[in-house]
Amino acid sequence: MKIDVLSLFPAMFQGIFGESILKKACEKQAVEYNVVNFREHADNKHGQVDDYPYGGGAGMVLKPQPIFDAVDSLKKGNDTQPRVILMCPQGERYTQAKAEELAREEHLIFICGHYEGYDERIRKHVVTDEISIGDYVLTGGELGAMVVIDSVVRLLPGVLGNEDSPILDSFSSGLLEHPHYTRPADFRGMKVPVELISGNHRLIEEWRDRESLRRTFERRPDLLDNHSLSDKQKQWIEEWEKSR
């Protein structure tokens, strides 16, 4: 996968691309990163990329020309059409399903804005996706882009050591992930559930299924609205509701 990022502050990405899983993914040649300061594409001697909004109002708006030209330069010579992602609080709320969708692409371009907003022609004629990582406003799109990139890259084949890891993550199954325990089995009187140390794989899987559902029921019941439940899972939920 090729990932291009358009940002006025490219140095912000040096740390995240040079550490942990994102660095390993690059070393394994699963992904190639490229960060572009789109100010370099401004068509004026001062490198100005923003201007006052028509009709008045607070703040400045990113001009279309630098973004259009920067994206055109990144598309040049490519056989495939990239997904062009605008990080924006007005975009669709980001989910694991969206991460899995983007992980199937060959080329992603992220646009990280600042100031009051974007010229609407950028949205209508350049962008394929608008993404928000939550119902709050950040100073710029960089931190949001980092979140999306991290969640996508870890899904690429061969990036994680255990190929089952992304499958078992919270939200991948539609539910939150079950609790985890490691050694010692008894720490300060706090014991690991007996099912996990029983050696019985059927009991272990049932415990994980039940605790994954319980955690979702307690913390994110909204996720259950569109989740298909087995008869056993419905029975567990009925028991928990009665005990409330």
Active site residues: 89, 116, 154, 169
H or E stretch at 179: none
Q: What are the φ/ψ torsions at residue 191 (nearest 5 degrees)? A: -100, 150
H or E stretch at 32: strand 32-36
Long-range interactions of 24-28: CB distance < 8 A, separation 24+: 24/159, 25/153, 25/154, 25/156, 25/159, 28/158, 28/159
H or E stretch at 35: strand 32-36
Give me the sign of the Cα torsion angle 170, 104, 126, 141.
positive
Beta-bridge partners for 93: 132
Task: For residues 99 and 91, give the distance between their C-alpha atoms in angstroms, rounded to a whole number.
Answer: 15
